[in-house]
Amino acid sequence: MIHVGIVAGESSGDQLGGTLVTALRQAHPDIRITGMAGPKMVAAGCEAIANVDELSVMGIVEVLRKYPQLLRLRARISAFYLDNRPDVFVGIDVPDFVMGIEARLFAENIKTVHYVAPQIWAWRQSRAKKIAKRLDLLLALFPFEVPFYERYGVNTTFVGHPLADLFPITRDRERARLALKLDTSRTYIALMPGSRRQEWIRHGDLFLKTAKLAANQHRDTAFLVAAINADAREYIDRRAREICPGLEIDVRVDHSHEILRASDVVLCASGTTTMEGLFAKTPMVVAYKLSPITHFIMKRMVKVPYIAMPNLLAGATLVPEYLQDEARPETLAKALSAWIDDPNKVQDFQRTCTDLHKSLRRGAAERAAFEILRLAGAIA
């Protein structure tokens, strides 16, 4: 029996891990998969040794506050895999956490794979040489990452973006609305404040204040909120009653993809949601707020002109993005209206999204599973 260890962090990592676990089990039924997992990985057949919620932190300051706890968690996971040696270990995203585990296991001659290339091409590029010394294989979601990492001696393979495989190439807004039992003729704006607790608390009020202004500009507008869990839904519902009472806000859990496909435009926090919005072909306004100290440090380290991945892929401002003090309700509401009032702009955006979607739709989970099993010696 082949043993594959997987460590994912947060809901986006759990989603990628779930599709990977499914692909691994389909390609090699005689397999044991253990890992730091969330509900999607567990449902796919992963034996959980820790929960992804244990790693729900963000930003430099936030990580420092929980650093002792994170060190204990990393030590516990490393000890498990040294006692229960896998044929291959896979770290999914969260490089600052999981690469410490990869380095420890690599030193003990356990095959290591990292799935989702760290975005060190955006900042901290010097880390590439260290990565080459602790990994057998890096699985990249974007083609431009391969030559960057190979310059530093990292064995890198482009597998495509897993989320690209979950969205249809052709946008069908009406079908998505029917699935959610929504009015097919109304204007809907999606609010996606983030998947981490710190994100939806930090962005919640900002997004709700923006919704209030947007509703004044577009009278027949309703709002859909994708909440990551019941706690997030309760928080958004409570804040909505206080900030914008009477506004039509429908908060749902576990329907983010459907909400994106059903909406006319989305206000979202920078992160995985921006790629989901690209694949849904839904016009976006991107906003993000960090703690002041984290922002001060990051501003001096980041080497790319955009924070939203769709803009980086397009090499231009495909979607407006606002960081820190620029993210104000008046500014965000105006940007949302610009999408709603300009159908030609929306059509151009959707054509670009379709081209990018096709370029990244490669059957990522199946490709990743093949490379992992080949490294484990399970297939030729």
pLDDT in tens, 276-293: 999 999 999 999 987 666
Q: Which pLDDT score, from 0 to 100, does residue 59 have?
A: 44
Whether residue 380 is predicted with pLDDT greater than 70 in this model: the reply is no
Whether residue 241 is predicted with pLDDT greater than 90 in this model: the reply is yes
Sign of dihedral through CA atoms 121, 124, 126, 129?
Answer: negative
Domain 173-360 has CATH 3.50.50.60: no
- DSSP state, 152? T
Spatial strand order in the sheet of 284-288: 249-253, 221-227, 187-192, 265-269, 284-288, 321-323
What's the CATH fold of domain 2-165+362-374?
Rossmann fold (3.40.50)
Which residue carries 């906003």 as its tokens? Answer: 287
pLDDT in tens, 244-287: 998 999 999 989 999 999 999 999 998 889 999 999 999 999 99
Q: Which pLDDT score, from 0 to 100, does residue 65 have?
A: 62
Please report the beta strands in the chain, taking only residues with DSSP state E, as ranges in sequence order: 2-8, 31-37, 47-51, 88-92, 111-115, 137-140, 156-158, 187-192, 221-227, 249-253, 265-269, 284-288, 321-323
Residue 225's pLDDT band (boundaries 50, 70, 90)? very high
pLDDT in tens, 300-357: 555 667 889 999 999 999 999 999 889 999 999 999 999 999 999 999 999 999 999 9
Query: Average of pLDDT values for 211-216?
Result: 96
Structure tokens at 166: 């979950």
pLDDT in tens, 167-179: 999 999 999 999 9
CA 255 from centre of chain? 15
Whether residue 55 is predicted with pLDDT greater than 90 in this model: the reply is no
Query: Average of pLDDT values for 222-246?
Result: 93
- pTM, two decimal places: 0.86
Q: Which residue has the higher pLDDT, 9 or 64?
A: 9
pLDDT > 70: percent of the chain: 91
Query: Average of pLDDT values for 211-215?
Result: 96
pLDDT > 90: percent of the chain: 74
Q: Which pLDDT score, from 0 to 100, does residue 298 have?
A: 59
Per the CB < 8 A criterion, the answer to whether 320 and 286 are in contact is yes
Count of CA atoms in the C-beta half-sphere (13 A) of 351:
6
- DSSP state, 85? -
Residue 61's pLDDT band (boundaries 50, 70, 90)? very low
Per the CB < 8 A criterion, the answer to whether 138 and 117 are in contact is yes
Q: In the chain, what are the domain boundaries?
A: 2-165+362-374, 173-360
The SS3 of residue 51 is: strand
Q: Which pLDDT score, from 0 to 100, does residue 127 have?
A: 75
Residues 224, 199: Cα–Cα separation, whole Å: 17
Q: Which pLDDT score, from 0 to 100, does residue 94 have?
A: 84
173-360 and 2-165+362-374 share a CATH fold:
yes
pLDDT in tens, 25-39: 999 999 999 999 999
Please give the mean pLDDT across all residues of the chain: 90
